Amino acid sequence: MSRTSSLTLSHPTIMSSGVCKSFSSSPSMATPARPTCQIYGKSGHVALNCWHRCNFKYVPTAPRPPRAFLASPSATTTQEWVLDSGASTHFTQDGNNLHSPAAYQGSDTMSIANGTSLSIHNSSQGLLPLPDTPRKLRLSNLLHVP
């Protein structure tokens, strides 16, 4: 099922007074439900409709580095996984969880709560066994941090 909505194409015009004014036309075309602004980086609007598009002093903030959080009152010794469905990178302490591991080529590290930085040794894909089913979940970008 495709989602169709009306998109207003705005063309900003800078008036001699310095005021930003737009004229627009409204052809109907398919658009994503939540577009991301290329100027502001927020979802919900596109650059043509961004309130910062005529603010020449606007400087977008730098993207925040990726973060993941896990709190545990004591060291974990189980083989359980903590699944974060929004994660772009996954970590494992057990090298046996890697499928065809390759030496990690980057200079990134993983920081833990006490401020210690841990080296990433290998990267690969992994298969996460799911409970109560023979199925497995494929994890891409799985990093080995012993």
Query: Phi and psi at residue 86, in whole multiples of 5°?
Result: -95, 0
Enzyme catalytic residues: 84
**Which residues, other chains included, contact 88 with Cβ-Cβ below 8 Å and sequence gap of 6+?**
66, 141
First CA to last CA distance, the chain? 45
- Name the burial class of residue 9, with classes exposed (0-12), middle (13-18) and buried (19+) by CB atoms within 10 angstroms of its CB: middle
Q: Residue 91 is encoded by which pair of tokens?
A: 């970590």
